[in-house]
């Protein structure tokens, strides 16, 4: 896997599958989002904010920008790399997720003559790299599109710039050839607005997720979540919805 930015000169006619990583490649029941949420809250408090104000701003920035860190950088001038070290970097991921042979087989069965496979995350590259390595799929991912915290003006989902830069880095020019799966409705909707061809909204069945610190029931209402986006409750359903990309005799 190449986590570093790919050469922007790469051009390849094959479609690209962009896989969201967090709460998509592993179950939300891992509680990683919640553990991350607690660390982010503590980070807000460490800036001198009262508990209640910290919660308010955390939710506001997540809702407004798709990422609490985006608001922290914009309004509090914090160093994203310091945030990454204290929040994502301190997560005991090895205790929260484990190698996933079913996911590995799923990714192995994508016909590489028909598609390339990239990860796409709203975190920094080190977090993505740790997750993919623990899941045991890092060798099956060509590269990762991540939030480049070394640039104070980094982009993140669902900002259009993030998707445009994903296409540039993966060397694909036709948005119709972009396949995308994400557990966030907003992120899928943003990809659809840019004309990405085959978007899937992942609504893990029967679980609760936390968006901006507020518990939200998903699954039951997932089927009507997005117009024109396929909704699936289990990742293995990709074999059906993207059947043209999978080897036939698996
Ligand atoms: Mg996600």
Q: Say which CATH class 16-28+94-245 falls into.
A: alpha beta
Share of the chain above pLDDT 70, in %: 87
Residue 211 near residue 183 (C-beta atoms within 8 A): no
Sheet with 116-120, strands from edge to edge, namely 143-145, 116-120, 16-20, 178-182, 198-202, 230-232
The residue with greater pLDDT, 94 or 2, is 94
Read off the pLDDT of each residue in 179-198 and give the average, rounded to a whole number.
Answer: 95
Kindly give the distance from the C-alpha atom of residue 10 to the centroid of ligand 1, in angstroms, as a whole number.
27
Neighbours of ion ligand 1 (CB under 5 A): 20, 22-24, 183
| pTM of the full structure | 0.85
* Closest residue by Cα to residue 173 from 4, 15, 19: 15
- What residues are paired with 2 via a beta bridge? 143
Distance CA 115, CA 181 (A): 14
Kindly give the distance from the C-alpha atom of residue 238 to the centroid of ligand 1, in angstroms, as a whole number.
16
Kindly give the distance from the C-alpha atom of residue 133 to the centroid of ligand 1, in angstroms, as a whole number.
17
Kindly give the distance from the C-alpha atom of residue 249 to the centroid of ligand 1, in angstroms, as a whole number.
30
Residue 37 near residue 62 (C-beta atoms within 8 A): no
Share of the chain above pLDDT 90, in %: 76
Beta-strand pair 16-20/116-120: parallel
Q: Rounded mean pLDDT of the chain? A: 88
Residue 191 near residue 224 (C-beta atoms within 8 A): no
Kindly give the distance from the C-alpha atom of residue 185 to the centroid of ligand 1, in angstroms, as a whole number.
10
The residue with greater pLDDT, 85 or 206, is 85
Distance CA 218, CA 205 (A): 7
**CATH 3.40.50.1000 boundaries in the chain:** 16-28+94-245
CATH number of 32-93: 1.10.150.450
**CATH 1.10.150.450 boundaries in the chain:** 32-93
Residue 32 near residue 50 (C-beta atoms within 8 A): no
């Amino acid at each position: 896997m190449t986590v570093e930015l790919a050469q922007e000169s790469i051009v390849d006619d094959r479609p690209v599958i962009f896989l969201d990583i967090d709460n998509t490649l592993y179950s939300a029941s891992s509680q990683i989002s919640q553990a991350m949420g607690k660390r982010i809250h503590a980070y807000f408090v460490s800036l001198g904010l009262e508990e209640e104000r910290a919660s308010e701003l955390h939710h506001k920035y997540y809702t407004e920008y798709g990422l609490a860190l985006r608001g922290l950088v914009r309004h509090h001038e914090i160093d994203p790399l310091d945030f990454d070290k204290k929040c994502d970097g301190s997560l005991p991921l090895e205790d929260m997720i484990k190698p996933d042979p079913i996911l590995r087989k799923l990714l192995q069965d994508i016909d590489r003559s028909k598609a390339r496979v990239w990860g796409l995350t709203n975190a920094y590259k080190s977090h993505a790299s740790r997750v993919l390595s623990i899941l045991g799929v890092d060798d099956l991912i060509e590269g990762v599109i991540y939030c480049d915290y070394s640039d104070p003006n980094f982009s993140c989902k669902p900002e259009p710039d993030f998707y445009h830069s994903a296409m540039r880095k993966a060397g694909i020019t036709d948005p119709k050839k972009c396949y995308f799966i994400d557990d966030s409705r907003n992120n899928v909707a943003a990809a659809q607005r840019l004309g990405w061809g085959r978007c899937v909204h992942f609504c893990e069945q029967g679980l609760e997720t936390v968006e901006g610190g507020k518990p939200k029931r998903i699954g039951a209402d997932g089927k009507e979540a997005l117009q024109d986006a396929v909704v699936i409750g289990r990742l293995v359903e990709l074999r059906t919805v993207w059947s043209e990309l999978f080897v036939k005799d698996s």
